Structure 1
Amino acid sequence: MQKRILLLSLVMVIAVVGGILAEKWSQSKQNHKVIVEQAPKSKLKVENLPMPEIEKTNSKVLIGYVQDFRDPNTIDYAKFTQIIFSFAHPLKDGGVLLNGDMALKNLRAMVSQAKKYHTKVILGVGGWFHIKGGESYPYFKAAISNPTSRAKLVSALTSLVDREHLDGIDIDFEHPHSAADANNLSAFIKALGGQLHSQNKELSVAVYSKINAATLTVTGFVVYDPKMFQYVDHVNIMAYDGQWDGGYHAANLSTYTFAEKIVNYWSGYFDHLHLSKGKLVLGVPLYGQPENPKIKQVSFSAILHNNPNNALKDSVIMNGTTYYYNSDTTMINKTRLTLDHGFGGMMLWEAGLDAKGPTSVTATIFSALQKFAKEPVKYYAVKSND
């Protein structure tokens, strides 16, 4: 009898406890449901915001060489992404020279001015003529042919970049004529690139166009080691001075057809090497070439001095001599050509030769780059109504 009473009591206790637990579980569900239903709607919305300011290095480049004797205050830094101060001169033992106190003063002034516009200043090394006379080729060749002098030149240039607060180096070895030259240049570029890139500095190389302006065929006159191009940020193609190909013909200076062949060659070459064509930069001349080779070249500024409408032509007769150059239309067409082929931008030789104001070639190419470049990616941000 007692066992029955105890068993009944236990059943009643379990029933009571179970009921209590069931009620609490039900309340919990209801409370949870209320919380979900009463959650306020989000007051956030996505708005299309203007693109933030970004450094010029993220856009198509406009690179201008500037000779060391130019007044640094005459350069339109706002239009350029890079200015290449030209030139520092390599010595056979691996040393390097600037053209005296004047060049050093101008370089420092250029660095100071360029910083105001977020424009990079690169030191050009080499060029055609050497400060000690004659061509630069034998000096440059000797400096990079020997491992000791090569290392010394790398050290000298990286020290210059650091000391003068520069943004990089541009190598203009005119020109490697043999496999040995090409291999030595490649080894030098690799070593210099390693040093500069470790300091977040740039390395570019100026190259011969590889196209004969008279025959419009590929020439083997200049030789490059293809491995070299993986170590540089930009390849500045000197797509001018074609007047010397196949005898002297001033009209071949830098035609659009010449540029087409050059762009097609380098595009295909970089595709073959599986390298980005964004490294490629097409060079254009800012001077007029005289029909008579005994007469000096003239600047674009001089061509436009008496008649701004000369900017619409590719040749002009001045003082009885015909000069050939690139009109605004040709410059615009060349800019479109390079962007259509995936090139990284344009290069000018030489910025100090340009006209000032609305007839400036720099301004023409700058505007064309802005017009033909792809639309930038839109930036979005989350913004509250409150």
Structure 2
Amino acid sequence: MNKRGILLLAAAVLTFSAGFYAGISYIKAETLTIEAVYHHLRSEEVESLFKKAEGKYESQSKVVMGYIQDHHDPETINYPYLSHVIFSFAHPTKKGDLLFSGAHAKDNLRKAVRLAHEHDTKVLLAVGGWFHIEGGETYPYFKEAIYNDESRTKLVNELIKVVKEENLDGVDIDFEHPRTVKDAEHLAAFVNELNYKLNVNDKELSIAVYSKVSSVTGRKNESVVFIPSMFNDVDYVNIMAYDGQWDGGYNAANLSPFPFAENIADYWSSFFEENGLSKDKLVLGVPFYAQPEDPSKSPLSFSKVIEHGADNADKDAATINGVKYHYNGISTIQRKTDLALQNDFGGMMIWEAGHDAKGEHSLARVIYDFLDKHAEREKKLFWSKTDE
């Protein structure tokens, strides 16, 4: 129904209810029921008619998902610009138990939940990651935990327990990475079992995935395997479209340049289309950190880059203390957000939100504002079409 039709409907309901109030128990206009006690159509009911049409935009809203590491102070996070916070990480054991990085991690989780929920931001708990609290890569721990029914179910139950106890909104799986078909099959079984129990509790499930594309050659990387049907069991697929500096010989400039993101978006768009999967589950990841050309130096957060010069905000490289760093500045973040929209992705993902700058230089704010302007354009287009 167009806007003119809604107004005519409201006027008709007003006239009808005024003339036949004594004999009519209710009036039904499509799915809206107005009880007889409402002698005349009130302003909030008129508003509800408009919201009925505008509600379509809620289903089209894009997510901005920000990972935060457990050692970062939750007070520093830009919650108003995030739809989801993904608290990282809980560590799986080979027997399916769940470990946190000390008491401070649980304290920070609880603080993050409280602060996020004050801003209507959801909180997911990420399980996995690259490094394990007990040493080495998380991969062998996670792999063994999901390889048999008993430990897999135990890990699922441990996650559900934490979700309930800590008032979380869901779980994020960060298994880096399934390297064989068997790995992929066991990951799919784990995702399916976890998703079932999260759904029962009205909670969400996301999964972080490898970019699958080489930043050097642009070709698909065959060393990581995913079973397409697995993605039916998740709400969001967070594409790690960064860390390209490790492809081939170390090259900081390959961290996450725009052409790399384009190749990644092309690959995942095609993969989802070919397998009949909904592309609005796809979430394009961007880095909020700077990679040094000298690999002996540590990466810098975007906030630290800005501390060394506000003019660095709209660059993709800067020399700091004699070392050149590569990162994504404001313009590149805007282009990548537009890239996600052009590919009908569900939104953007940040690694990680604790690296963001404050105020006008916040990259999360850049993403949020870009998506907000896009939503406004879509709304105007919708209303212009309904007026035709």
Bucket of the pairwise TM-score, normalised by the shorter protein: 0.7 to 0.9
Residue 15 of structure 1 is matched in structure 2 by: none
Q: How does 1:60-139 map to 2 (within 5 A)?
A: 60-139=62-141
The counterpart of 1:375, out of the listed 358, 374, 378, is: 378
Residue 191 of structure 1 is matched in structure 2 by: 193
Secondary structure of the 1:145 match is coil
Q: Please state how far the C-alpha of 1:57 moved relative to its aligned partner.
A: 7.6
Output the amino acid matched with 2:276: H
CA contact (8 A) 1:242 1:253 kept: yes
CA contact (8 A) 2:95 2:151 kept: yes
Residue 331 of structure 2 is matched in structure 1 by: 329
Q: Please state how far the C-alpha of 1:371 moved relative to its aligned partner.
A: 1.7
Identity percentage over the alignment? 51
RMSD: 2.2
CA distance in 2 between counterparts of 1:119 and 1:109 reads: 13
CA distance in 2 between counterparts of 1:353 and 1:233 reads: 25
Residue 19 of structure 1 is matched in structure 2 by: none
Residue 298 of structure 1 is matched in structure 2 by: 300
CA distance in 1 between counterparts of 2:278 and 2:51 reads: 26
Bigger mean CA offset, 369-378 vs 222-231: 369-378
Q: How does 1:95-244 map to 2 (within 5 A)?
A: 95-244=97-246
Secondary structure of the 1:258 match is helix
Q: Please state how far the C-alpha of 1:198 moved relative to its aligned partner.
A: 1.3
CA distance in 2 between counterparts of 1:355 and 1:81 reads: 18
Q: Please state how far the C-alpha of 1:372 moved relative to its aligned partner.
A: 2.4
Q: How does 1:1-20 map to 2 (within 5 A)?
A: none
CA distance in 1 between counterparts of 2:58 and 2:75 reads: 20
Deviation string 1:259-283 (CA, Å, 9 cap, x unpaired) is 0010011111111111110000000
Q: Please state how far the C-alpha of 1:144 moved relative to its aligned partner.
A: 0.3
Q: Please state how far the C-alpha of 1:306 moved relative to its aligned partner.
A: 2.5
Deviation string 1:62-107 (CA, Å, 9 cap, x unpaired) is 0000000111111111111000000000000000011111011111
CA distance in 1 between counterparts of 2:59 and 2:87 reads: 18
Larger Rg: 1
Aligned residues: 339
Deviation string 1:168-215 (CA, Å, 9 cap, x unpaired) is 000000011000100000000000000001111001000000000000
CA contact (8 A) 1:236 1:283 kept: yes
Output the amino acid matched with 2:344: G
Which runs of structure 1 show a deviation greater than 3 angstroms over 4 or more consecutive aligned residues?
43-58
Secondary structure of the 1:375 match is helix
CA contact (8 A) 1:56 1:119 kept: no
Q: How does 1:17-28 map to 2 (within 5 A)?
A: none
TM-score, length-scaled by structure 2: 0.83
What are the ranges of 5 or more consecutive residues in structure 2 without an aligned counterpart? 1-18, 21-39, 384-388
Deviation string 1:119-140 (CA, Å, 9 cap, x unpaired) is 1000000000000011100000
1:310 equivalenced with 2:312 (yes/no): yes
The counterpart of 1:268, out of the listed 252, 267, 270, is: 270
Output the amino acid matched with 1:307: G
CA distance in 2 between counterparts of 1:322 and 1:246 reads: 20
TM-score, length-scaled by structure 1: 0.84
CA distance in 2 between counterparts of 1:224 and 1:240 reads: 19
Q: How does 1:339-378 map to 2 (within 5 A)?
A: 339-373=341-375, 375-376=378-379
Q: Please state how far the C-alpha of 1:113 moved relative to its aligned partner.
A: 1.0
